[in-house]
Amino acid sequence: MSVQGIDQLLGELKAMSSLAAGQAPAQAPAANEGPDFADLLKSSLDQVNQMQQDAQAQQAAFQAGEPQADLQDVMVSLQKASLSFQTMVQVRNKLVTAYQEIMNMQV
């Protein structure tokens, strides 16, 4: 995930916060400034999914006894897929927590 997407999200949150307080937005987010946060999140999910599918394919190739499937490569790819999934879950948890905090703000 890029820093640009996070900066854009923070800018949008600040603009919404100032609108909720009855003030004019200090900086309105530009529509074509960069990639959409939802697109960045979806592409990250797609990458995690692709890593898991590749790891499962390597595991199946090793179990089938294919000569190009190396145990070390299979284990490394499985660990990478697991780590990327755990990271994705932590990011999701942070987003849900941030959303809940925003929704609990009094206007």
Find, among 99, 91, 107, the residue nearest to 44 by Cα: 91
This prediction's pTM = 0.62
Structure token pair of residue 26 = 């200090």
Find, among 9, 31, 25, the residue nearest to 99 by Cα: 9
pLDDT in tens, the chain (107 residues): 455 666 777 777 777 777 766 666 555 455 566 778 888 888 889 999 999 999 999 999 999 999 898 999 999 999 999 999 999 999 999 999 999 998 998 87
Find, among 49, 58, 35, the residue nearest to 88 by Cα: 49
Residues in the chain, total: 107
Structure token pair of residue 96 = 């849900």
14 Cβ contact partners less than 8 Å away, ≥ 6 residues apart: 25, 26, 27
d(CA 81, CA 102) in angstroms, rounded, equals 32
